[in-house]
Structure 1
Amino acid sequence: MFFCGGIPAQTKRHNIREFIEPSVKGGLFKKKGHIKRIEILVFKDVVLNKLEYHGLVNIEPDEVAERVIKKLNCKKFMGKHIAVREYRQRDWHNDRRLNNKKADIVNRDRRETDRRRGAQLEEIEDVSAMFIGREGFHRKQGD
């Protein structure tokens, strides 16, 4: 799974698919992969009162996902340079804030210093299922 950071607000799933698919196709000696899932997440920076849009993409097999990350990182997507990197879910095994020690629940989400924006961001909603179709910007019925 990899993370596409800083995608434009009007991005739909098919835009991300069209951006990624050429890199997923196998070449003469390269293994072909397939896109399993694409999600679009919206976060709100509560300090700046600004929305941020990010994509999560799951590609199988992992070798193809690594190739896609190397090929697409810092490339232009819909007129904007985006960051493409491996998505890592944080837990007590890989959280540098905890010095690899199992911590209690109270300290799990606290940082030693507040140099990052984690506390300033809140997830608004997953908007990937809100829009359908390739033609225009149509909302699903009932929303």
Structure 2
Amino acid sequence: MLLFFRNIPASTRPNELYSYVAMAVSEDLIEQAKHVITVDVMVIRDKRSNQLEHHGLVSVNSDEAGIRAIKNLNGLLFNGCEVLVRVYKQRDVKNDRRRNGLPVPSEIIEKRIQDRRRGASVEIYVDFSNVFYPITL
């Protein structure tokens, strides 16, 4: 399962996020290393506003570990910032209504004030993912 961490502090490094997630999924040190597979920390720049956003992607080995991490970490402070944690869903032709031509239900359209997808207006500004790789036991 791939987890998306939004609003992480600007100074976050992958090993810090790794430790944060590992402690949330297990109390046993050996088990912690088995649950978290990879950690990526990225800085994304919105081309329209020129603002930087800091996000993390964490891959865990099972849905159970992912659900436990979301339950234990969503809305908590991480280095002084309240982080939002959710399952990361990659869009493709099968699950994207705009690409496959399926109609969007009116209740969803009414909830939207504007299109939230930024697509080409964002770019990866800095990617720290190659700085740290978890040790496998």
TM-score using structure 1 length:
0.71
Q: In the alignment, what sits opposite 2:60?
A: 59
1:37 touches 1:59 (CA, 8 Å); kept in 2?
yes
Which sections of structure 2, spanning at least 5 residues, go unmatched? 103-112
The secondary structure found in structure 1 opposite 2:37 is strand
The 5-angstrom pairing of residues 30-69 of structure 1 reads 34-69=35-70
Q: Which has the higher contact order (CA 8 A, sep 6+)?
A: 2
Offset at residue 124 of structure 1 (A): 2.2
Give 1:104-143 correspondences, 5 Å limit: 115-119=115-119, 120-130=121-131
Which blocks of at least 5 consecutive residues in structure 1 are unaligned? 102-112, 133-143
More helix by share: 2
Whether the aligned pair in 2 keeps the contact of 1:3 and 1:87 (CA below 8 Å) is yes
Alpha-carbon distance, 1:18 to partner: 2.1
Tell me by how many angstroms 1:58 deviates.
0.5
C-alpha contact (below 8 Å) 2:14/2:131 kept by paired residues: no
Give the RMSD, CA atoms, in angstroms.
2.6
Seq. identity, %: 36
Query: Which runs of structure 1 show a deviation greater than 4 angstroms over 4 or more consecutive aligned residues?
Result: none
Number of residues of Structure 1 aligned to a counterpart in Structure 2? 118
Q: Give the structure with higher Rg (CA).
A: 1
